Structure formats: structure tokens, C-alpha cells
């Protein structure tokens, strides 16, 4: 396969479900991406996938302390994923698939899209901050090859009702 290409998506015609992938992190706006992904999934008979990526580079330079830091990071990530999934379950009535990976975020997103051929849309939320849309949106927008699936960028200021009306 040519570098940068992604395997063909497994659509509904082939028995697949359209999955909406939202990246969960510690930013306040990631909840907007999760809400949009879940509502779009529910409206279209699809599924929502929430991915949390722990930056593995944070542990390397600390040797013995690295394992403790890694365990704490995994625990914090699982807590955050669980909290967002609970909010979505209650608000939308959809059970999201949650995944935790370790590595570089953009590369882990790419690998997941390649591995799960039902993922059809990547949903990100732009920060409402004056500093810009946020590092992940900037990384995706600045990457010429980005991803071989559509990317939806949700404004952080959208309310649940506004998201509902769009889905």
C-alpha cells in the first residue's frame, strides 16, 4: 500500500456501521466533539468511538519513575474517558466504544483509522481560546496528508441543543 493511503472504508453496504471518532483529552472542548460524534452516530444508526492518547514521550526521561508516571497517566486517562462516556450515555443514550493508546496523537489516530475500517469521520473540537483552535486541530489542519477520511471540526461554543439541531 502506498504511504499515506488508507484501506477502503467498510460501509453500510458491506455490513459495516459508520463510526464517528472523537479524540478525548483534558481540554474542555473535547466534550463538544464527543457530543457531536455521539449524536451523529445515533442519528445515522452508527457508532461513536472515543480515543484517548497518552503521550509516551512524557515518561522516557524519568527511568524508574517512568513506570509510576505511566500508571498514573493511564489511570487519569481511563477516568477522563469514563467521565465523558458517562455524560454521553446519559445525554444521548448511546454506548460509546472507548480506546486508550499510548504514542503520538496524530499517528495513533492514523493507525486506528487504518485498523478499524468502519471509522468514517474524525470529529475534533476547536478551542474557543484566543490562542487558536488548539494543538490537535492545528496539527490536522497543518498536515497536508492529514487523514484519508473527512474531518469535522466542531466549535467549542456549540450547545447540546445546537449540536442536536445539526445532527
Q: What's the domain range around 111?
A: 12-166
Query: What is the pTM assigned to this prediction?
Result: 0.83
Give the number of other CB atoms < 10 A from CB of residue 56.
15
d(Cα 39, Cα 28) in Å, to the nearest integer? Answer: 18
CATH code of the domain covering residue 84: 3.40.50.620
CB-based burial, 8-37: b 16+ in 10 Å, e otherwise: ebbeeeeebebbbbbbbbebebbbbbbbbb
The helix or strand, by DSSP H or E, that contains position 22, with its residue range, turns out to be strand 19-24
pLDDT over 80 at 60, yes or no: no
17-58 confidence digits (pLDDT tens): 899 999 999 888 899 999 999 999 999 999 999 999 998 766
What is the C-alpha separation between 27 and 24, in angstroms, rounded? 8
Q: Per-residue pLDDT tens for 80-107?
A: 999 999 999 999 999 999 999 999 888 8
- CB atoms near residue 96 (< 10 Å): 24
Average pLDDT value for the chain: 83
Kindly indicate the confidence band of residue 161, based on its pLDDT and cuts at 50, 70 and 90. confident
The domain total for the chain is: 1
Residue 4 lies in a domain: no
Give a yes or no: residue 7 inside a domain: no
pLDDT in tens, 12-23: 555 568 999 999
Amino acid at each position: 500500500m502506498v504511504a499515506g493511503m488508507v484501506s477502503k472504508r467498510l460501509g453500510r453496504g458491506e455490513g459495516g456501521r459508520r463510526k464517528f471518532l472523537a479524540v478525548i483529552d483534558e481540554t474542555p472542548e473535547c466534550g463538544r466533539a464527543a457530543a457531536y460524534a455521539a449524536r451523529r452516530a445515533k442519528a445515522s444508526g452508527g457508532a461513536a468511538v472515543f480515543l484517548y492518547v497518552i503521550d509516551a514521550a512524557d515518561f522516557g526521561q524519568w527511568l524508574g519513575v517512568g513506570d509510576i508516571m505511566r500508571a498514573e497517566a493511564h489511570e487519569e486517562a481511563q477516568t477522563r474517558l469514563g467521565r465523558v462516556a458517562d455524560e454521553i450515555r446519559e445525554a444521548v443514550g448511546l454506548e460509546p466504544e472507548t480506546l486508550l493508546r499510548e504514542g503520538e496523537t496524530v499517528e495513533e489516530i492514523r493507525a486506528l483509522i487504518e485498523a478499524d475500517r468502519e471509522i468514517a469521520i474524525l470529529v475534533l473540537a476547536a478551542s474557543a481560546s484566543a490562542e487558536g483552535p488548539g494543538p490537535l486541530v492545528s496539527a490536522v489542519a497543518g498536515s497536508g496528508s492529514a487523514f484519508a477520511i473527512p474531518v469535522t471540526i466542531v466549535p467549542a461554543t456549540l450547545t447540546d441543543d445546537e449540536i442536536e439541531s445539526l445532527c
